Homo-oligomer: A and B are copies of this chain.
Amino acid sequence: MITLGANQYGKAEVRLVHVSRDGDRHEIRDLNVSVTLAGDLAATHLTGDNAAVLPTDSQKNAVYAFAREHGVAAPEEFAVLLARHFVDAGPTIQRARVGVEEYAWDRIPATGHSFVRGGREVRTARVTHSAAGTHIVSGLRDMTVLNTTGSEFWGFAKDEYTILPETRDRVLATTVRAEWRHRAREVGRGGVAGETPTPATKDWDASYAGVRGALLDAFADTHSLSLQQTLYAMGSRALSAYGEEICEIRLSLPNKHHIAVDLTPFGLDNPNEVFHAADRPYGLIEGTVRHDDADPAEEAW
């Protein structure tokens, strides 16, 4: 018999820019918000009865209205408010996920209301809320980093298709995608453990800056024998420094190959100075680093 399996729906990519004013000094937060709801949705699939379907248009409106009513203190906090709202609103929605991308802006020096888009990386947050609790995952993507030296790759397995030479000095570059899960006690009221502090009591921006900095530092000062080793170093650095707050980090690191160009046909050497930055194919290294006391919480992702 044919049956309906897992399903969810929502409004994706609501582009919200929020301006707050403190006299002549303005602040902006620039978000891309996606809502995903799951619950008692069989009827609309099977018969087109939409009585349990809150329109995605209403979800979009809620995003904008919440920005006015509550402001946008941090992506994580804003997402928690929204996720709880959708579950609390009625009996048909059992789980809400709110994903946020935040784009950075820098103040143009010596101005109060002028900004320039800064950095290349995108800050992310995803919040999952149900009766069982709230999970908060923070992250970033598109942070591209490069070491011009301090990276080796040798002693690897060889098969009949292996012709790659070993190297004791290569450029190592990657575009970091990282997501880290906050411990339940960080999440606050309604959280997994039902503890009291609200997420509003946490400085999410400082937390983000701290983890980002740990990732960057570990990439920079790890003498790397493999990108896997660098991945683990990055993850464990973040967990070591912020283990009170976070319990698990997932990293996806494309190996953006920089190939030293063979200039010998032109009578030139190339002492790791001239590189071709290749597009495809690329290695892709993915891994999780976690505290062994972390609950699995697969539903948080």
| CB nearest neighbor in B for A255 | B56
| Segment touching B, from A130-138, A188-196, A202-210, A271-279 | A271-279
Bound CA span A26–B220, Å:
13
Chain B contacts for A90, CB-based, 8 A: 157, 159
Chain B contacts for A219, CB-based, 8 A: 108, 114
- Contact flags (1/0) for A218-235 with B, using CB distance below 8 Å? 011100111011011001
19 residue pairs bridging A and B, Cβ less than 8 Å apart: A9-B283, A11-B281, A12-B254, A12-B282, A18-B273, A18-B275, A28-B146, A44-B228, A44-B229, A45-B228, A50-B226, A54-B162, A55-B153, A56-B283, A57-B164, A58-B163, A68-B268, A105-B146, A108-B216
B61 and A289 form a contact (CB under 8 A): no
* Interface status of A73 (Cβ within 8 A of chain B): no
Grouping DSSP codes into helix (H, G, I), strand (E, B) and loop, the A interface class, with mixed when no group exceeds half, is mixed
Given A263-B65, A274-B18, A7–B288 Cβ distance below 8 Å?
Answer: yes
Chain B contacts for A105, CB-based, 8 A: 146
Bound CA span A30–B145, Å:
13
Bound CA span A92–B240, Å:
29
Which of the residues B53, B278, B282 comes within 8 Å of A226, measured between beta carbons? B53
A20 and B273 form a contact (CB under 8 A): yes
- Number of residues of chain A lying within 8 A (CB) of chain B: 137
How far in angstroms is the closest Cβ of chain B from A50?
4
Chain B contacts for A245, CB-based, 8 A: none
A17-B171, A36-B286 given; 4 more Cβ-contact pairs under 8 Å: A3-B289, A8-B287, A51-B156, A108-B217
CB neighbors of B among A118-136 (8 A): 118-120
* Interface status of A295 (Cβ within 8 A of chain B): no
* Interface status of A299 (Cβ within 8 A of chain B): no
